[in-house]
Amino acid sequence: MASPFRGFAAVFYKEVLHVRRDPGTLFFSLLIPLMQMVVLGFAIDTNVRQVHTVVYNADGRQESRELIDRLKNSDTFNVIRYVENDHDLNDEIIGGKARVGIKIPVDFSDRLIHGMSAQVLVLIDGSDSSVAGQAINVTTAIGLDESLRREVTDSTAPFAVDMRPKLLFNPDSRSPNFFLPGLTAVLLLNVTTFLTAFAIVREKERGTLEQLFVTPVRPFGLLLGKLLPYFFIGFFELCNILFFMRFVFRVPIHGNVFLLALLSIPYLFVCLSFGMLISSKANSQAQAMQLAFLTFLPSIFFSGYIFPRETMPIFFRVLSYFIPASYFINITRGIILRGAGLQHLWIDGLALTAMGTILLVIAARRFSNKVIMT
Amino acid sequence: MTDAAQTVTGAAISAQHLVRRFGTFTAVDDISFRVEKGEIFGFLGPNGSGKTTIIKMLTGLLPLTGGDAWVQGIDVRKDAEAVRENIGYMSQKFSLYDDLTVLENLRFYGRIYGLSPERMKQRIDDIVQLNGLSPYMNRLAAQLSGGWKQRLALGCAMLHEPKLLFLDEPTAGIDPVARRQLWDLLFELSGHGITFFVTTHYMDEAERCSHVAYIYYGKLIADGTPADLKQLPDVQPAGTARVEIITPQVTRALRLARHIPGIRSATIFGESIHALVEEHFNLADLRAQLQKDGIAVTDIRPLTASLEDVFVELTYKHQALLEASRG
């Protein structure tokens, strides 16, 4: 009688050979879980630390400097800049450079010396609810602590140092307001990078690409002709997402929608060019899928979509500058939540345009050298 | 006029000392040939012998490692773009867009070659007339049978009226009727002065070509008309004759025949054996000898070499040379 396990060894050996012949698949299947582990365990610090903070110290005397030192020593705040007026204080936050602004009034020291209650204004960017919560807690705690060290002669005021937090942009701390603008960047990847990557790989699989290369079609003609339809699809999808965000999830858009549309063009361009580059490398749709996922995960984890970029270790923070979604998330949150204008965001648009151009040129070179032909 | 220019004049393709290396592997090793205008040039060879590589070199898809090539009088090294304007190419997979209709496929290639709307309409009408696609114009390419796909692919490749068409295994995987019809079409077009460069595995197709070449692991080992090749001394050495032994017991007969002195080589062809024998060899003796060993011999008759015989003989000879050179 034949054993029910007949053929086991043969099939086992054959499968081992398949795996060895295709190290790419093995690499990805081993790398992705490891990457997720590293990201979740190491790169992501849910404790909010070193929040970028801007300080307007209108008082400037001993007592006010002591307060600032205490805030700095809390590890929650990282004072990146001192400004001299209210306008700059606001602008730093709208531009996304700082998430917390602290204003110490001109009579702060005087009031404390005279035993009166002194108020400190704490402006908090409410677009990230975890950062906002932590900022409120820590500033209030420091205020209480300072107050305990001082005597208040005016019995009507309970605290000597009265921290007055004020949430900007997202006063209700609604999480859709925070997540949806970032999600836009991730969702757009789906209809851009993935679709274009497949579009050319499909032609490779069918053999039509080979046919095209024997015609006078030039690389840029081919790439742009392939790219443009997906650009319109991506743009249409952006409009859908914005519509749902505004009218279904009721996220208010504080800035100019047309500016958002304008600045989404370079982002779509980068994503599409990346899809082209993938399709120049991949020889099958499965391979294209793997490569596209390789861009998808960093766009979720390292772009600031879920975890603030400020709290990442230096390596991942540097990495985030190479991820297009980082810039676009800054753009969407800036315009939608903080009402930022072109003067705050032009550099993000420029970075995206540069990335897209570089990627497209690399892809076109690969096509003109026919390196994709095997 | 330089020597090179002289050999180019008038030829549809002139390839001189073509070499293509991939790393240390030489896929195309010093190959020269010339295809005249209006010829049906059959290019044969086993898989992986370099046929497709040569097509890619001649169409400018692969740079030449060495040698020169002129296609329709254009230097491939200098102006691959111009070459591509002047040729048509049909790959083995009949590379069509399955999700486009017949008409949409044709129009796509028309636009790629920049045909004006009037010319496009004219050309599509001509092509449809020629290969009978008219009932299928609005059908998706995916729904066509192999033979019709091939006609559509050929139509797409000749929309811009190239004078030279490269067909890479145009009949692979299609039914015999469609195969016959394609060849009728090629002859008709050839009559209008179009040159064809056709690769194939079918010997009967090779027999129909006006000029054949055989490539074996990067070396060109045969080049000429089918009739000329059959007269080659390597194929039909002086003092030998070719005979066909018809018998129901081909396998046993082959084993015996190979040990009979006077038989130089023997191969099975269906229900018969093709053998190369010494000219003075007596066919009646051969019949007697086989019958003595219990083989029923239906008939033994003289045979002219087929192209397959030619390629078999030349391959043997080439293999022997290769082994000798390896020492």
Examine residue A288 and state whether it is found in any structural domain, yes or no: yes
On whether residue A32 sits in a domain, the answer given is no
- Taking CA atoms, what residue in A is nearest to B108? A212
A214 part of contact set with chain B, CB < 8 Å: yes
Asked if residue B323 is part of any domain, the answer here is no
Does one domain contain both B39 and B182? yes
Q: What is the CATH number of the domain that holds B281?
A: 3.30.70.100
CB-based contact B290:B256 (threshold 8 Å):
yes
Could you tell me if residue B30 is inside a domain?
yes
pLDDT, tens only, B86-100: 999 998 777 788 888
More confident residue, B126 or A127: B126
Chain B: residue nearest A213 by CA? B61
Q: Are A363 and A352 in contact (CB under 8 A)?
A: no
When mean pLDDT is compared over A7-11, B107-111, B195-199, the highest value belongs to B195-199
Last residue of a domain, one of A134, A152, A168: A168
C-beta separation of A222 from A165 below 8 A: no
d(CA A125, CA A170): 8
Residues in chain B with CB shorter than 8 Å from the CB of A211 are 89-91, 95, 156
Q: Is the pLDDT of residue A364 over 50?
A: yes
Q: Which DSSP category does B64 fall into? A: -
Among A234-243, B201-210, B274-283, whose mean pLDDT is lowest? B274-283
End-to-end CA gap in chain A: 48
Residue that finishes a domain, picked among B193, B225, B257: B225
Q: Is the pLDDT of residue A219 over 50?
A: yes
Per-residue pLDDT of A273-316, as tens digits, reads 999 899 888 888 888 888 888 778 888 888 888 777 777 778 88
Q: Which residue segment(s) compose the domain that A78 sits in?
A: 51-168
A218 in the same domain as A164: no
Chain A residue whose CA is closest to B57: A214
* CB–CB contacts below 8 A, A to B: 44
Residues of chain A in contact with residue B84, where contact means CB-CB under 8 angstroms, are 214-216
* Contact yes or no for B84 and A214 at CB 8 A: yes
Mind listing the pLDDT tens digit for each residue in A318-329? 888 999 999 999
The reply to whether A204 and A348 lie within a common domain is yes
Residue B257 — φ and ψ, nearest 5°?
A: -55, -35
Res. A28: pLDDT tops 90: no
B207 with B283, same domain: the answer is: no
Question: Are residues A214 and A85 both part of a single domain?
Answer: no
Among A168, A200, A220, identify where a domain stops: A168
B59–A214: do the CB atoms touch at under 8 Å?
Answer: yes
In order, the DSSP letters of B183-199 are: HHHHHHHHHTT-EEEEE
Distance from C-alpha of B126 to C-alpha of B140, rounded to nearest angstrom: 20
Would you call A213 and B97 a contact, using CB atoms and an 8 Å cutoff?
Answer: no
Taking the Cβ of residue A208 and every Cβ of chain B, the question of whether any pair is shorter than 8 Å is answered with yes
Alpha-carbon distance A339 to B174, whole Å?
65
- In 3-state terms, what secondary structure has residue A155? coil
One domain, residues A302 and A213 = yes
**Nearest residue on chain A to B91, alpha-carbon basis:** A211
| Nearest CA among A321, A29, A360 for reference residue A196 | A360
Minimal Cβ distance to A214: which of B89, B92, B96: B89
The mean pLDDT value for B24-35 works out to: 92
Q: Is residue B101 part of a domain?
A: yes
The answer to whether residue A334 scores a pLDDT higher than 80 is yes
Contact at CB, A216 and B84, closer than 8 angstroms? yes
Using CA atoms, how far apart are residues A139 and A141, in angstroms rounded to an integer? 5
Report the distance separating Cα A293 and Cα A258, nearest Å.
30
Yes or no, beta carbons of B112 and A217 under 8 Å apart: yes
- How many angstroms away from the CA of B101 is the closest CA of chain A? 15
Chain A partners of B98 at a C-beta cutoff of 8 Å?
206
Q: Structural domain tally of chain A?
A: 2
**Residue that has been written with the tokens 């602004």 in this structure:** A101
Residues of A in contact with B97 (CB under 8 A): 206, 208
Q: Are residues B268 and B221 in the same domain?
A: no
C-alpha angle B114-B120-B125 in degrees, rounded to nearest 5: 155
B11 in the same domain as B104 = yes
Scanning every residue of chain B, which has its alpha carbon at the shortest distance from the alpha carbon of A217?
B112
CA A306 from chain centre, in angstroms, equals 8
Residues B208 and B90 occupy one common structural domain = yes
Q: Which of B225, B249, B270 is the last residue of a domain?
A: B225
Give the residue from A148, A168, A188 where a domain finishes: A168
**Distance between CA A102 and CA A121 in Å, rounded?**
6
- The DSSP result for A192-226, as a single string, is IIIHHHHHHHHHHHHTHHHHHHTTT--HHHHHHHH
Is A124 within the bounds of a domain?
Answer: yes
Grade residue B196 by pLDDT with cuts at 50, 70 and 90: very high
Enter the tokens of residue A83.
């400004």
Q: What is the DSSP letter of B305?
A: P
- Indicate if A97 and A232 belong to the same structural domain: no
CB contact under 8 A, B89 and A212: no
Task: Please tell me whether residues A128 and A249 are part of one structural domain.
Answer: no
Asked if residue B321 belongs to a domain, the reply is no
Does one domain contain both A143 and A215?
no
Same domain, B69 and B211: yes
Both A129 and A220 in one domain: the answer is no
**Single residue among B225, B250, B276 that ends a domain in this structure:** B225
Domain-located, residue B34: yes
Residues A183 and A148 in one domain: no
Does residue A155 have a pLDDT over 60? no
- Give the span between the Cα atoms of A344 and A334, in whole angstroms: 8
Q: Which domain holds residue B169?
A: 3-225
Nearest CA in chain A to B95: A208
B196 and B135 share a domain?
Answer: yes
For position A2, what pLDDT does the model report?
62
Pair (B249, B175) in one structural domain: no
Please check whether residue A293 is in contact with residue A274, taking contact to mean a CB–CB distance below 8 angstroms.
Answer: no
Per cent of chain B over pLDDT 90 is 31
Closest residue in A to B22 (Cα) is: A374
* Inside any domain, residue A373: no
Question: What average pLDDT does the segment B239-255 reach?
Answer: 87
If asked whether residues B220 and B254 sit together in one domain, one would say no
**Contact assignment for B109 to A215 by CB distance below 8 Å:** yes
Judged by a CB distance cut-off of 8 A, whether residue A137 touches chain B is no
CA atoms within 13 A on the CB side of A146: 27
Of A170 and B58, the one with more pLDDT: B58
Q: Provide the phi-psi class of B163: left if phi over 0, else alpha when psi is between -120 and 50, else beta.
A: alpha
Q: Is the pLDDT of residue A259 over 80?
A: yes
Average pLDDT, chain A: 82
Looking at chain A, which residue has its C-alpha nearest residue B59?
Answer: A214
Tally of structural domains, chain B: 2
Q: Please, which pLDDT band fits residue B7 given cuts at 50, 70 and 90?
A: low
Among candidates A206, A211, A216 on the partner chain, residue whose Cβ is nearest the Cβ of B113: A216
CA separation, residue A233 to residues A229, A340, A360, B148 (Å): 6, 26, 19, 34
Task: Retrieve residue B264's tokens.
Answer: 């130089």
Whether residue A228 lies within 8 A of chain B, CB to CB, comes out as no
Q: pLDDT tens across B270-292, in order?
A: 888 888 888 887 888 888 888 88
β-pair partners for B21: B26
Spatial distance between the Cα atoms of B198 and A23, rounded to a whole number of angstroms: 38
Spatial CB neighbours of A315, under 8 Å, sequence gap ≥ 6? none
DSSP one-letter string for A247-299: HTS-----S-HHHHHHHHHHHHHHHHHHHHHHHHH-SSHHHHHHHHHHHHHHH
Of B61, B90, B113, the CB nearest to A370: B61
Shared domain check, A190 and A104: no
Residue-level pLDDT at A38: 67
In a domain, B139, yes or no: yes
**Which among A207, A212, A216 is the nearest to B93, CB-wise?**
A207
Residue B17 belongs to some domain of the structure: yes
In the predicted structure, residue A169 carries a pLDDT above the cut 50: yes
**Separation between Cα atoms, residue B104 and residue B139, nearest integer Å:** 10
Say yes or no to pLDDT of A10 above 80: no
Query: What's the gap in Å between the CA of B96 and the closest CA on chain A?
Result: 6
Is there a single domain that holds both residue B193 and residue B48? yes
- Using the predicted structure, report yes or no on whether residue B2 has a pLDDT greater than 60: no
* 8 Å CB contact of A208 and B96: yes
Of B118 and B232, the one with more pLDDT: B118
Cβ-based interface (< 8 Å): residues of B facing A: 56, 59, 61-62, 81, 84-85, 87, 89-93, 95-98, 109, 112-114, 156, 166
Q: Do residue A210 and residue B91 have CB atoms under 8 angstroms apart?
A: yes
Question: Within this chain, do residues B109 and B191 fall inside the same structural domain, yes or no?
Answer: yes
Question: What pLDDT sits at residue A153?
Answer: 59
DSSP symbols for B204-265: HHHHH-SEEEEEETTEEEEEE-HHHHHT-TTTS-TTEEEEEEE-S-HHHHHHHHTTSTTEEE
Q: Nearest-CA residue of chain B relative to A222?
A: B112
B85, A216: Cβ pair inside 8 Å? yes
| Same domain flag for A160 and A186 | no
Both A214 and A328 in a single domain?
A: yes
User: Mind telling me how many Å the CA of A19 is from chain B's nearest CA?
Assistant: 26
Question: Which residue in A206, A290, A201, A204 sits closest to A22, CA to CA?
Answer: A290
A45 occurs within a structural domain: no
Give the span between the Cα atoms of B128 and B188, in whole angstroms.
15
Q: What is the CATH number of the domain that holds A95?
A: 3.40.1710.10
- Classify residue A195: in a domain, yes or no: yes
Between A39 and A195, residue with greater pLDDT: A195
Both tokens of B327, joined, read 């020492």
Is position B185 within any domain?
Answer: yes
Predicted confidence at residue B304, as pLDDT, reads 83
Q: What's the whole-number mean pLDDT along residues A156-184?
A: 77
Same domain for B219 and B283, yes or no, is no
List own/partner pairs for B234-238 with CB under 8 A and 24 or more apart: B234/B313, B234/B314, B234/B317, B235/B305, B235/B309, B235/B310, B235/B313, B235/B314, B236/B305, B237/B264, B237/B276
- What is the rounded distance in angstroms from the CA atom of residue A176 to the CA atom of residue A163? 28
Q: So what's the pLDDT on residue B1?
A: 41
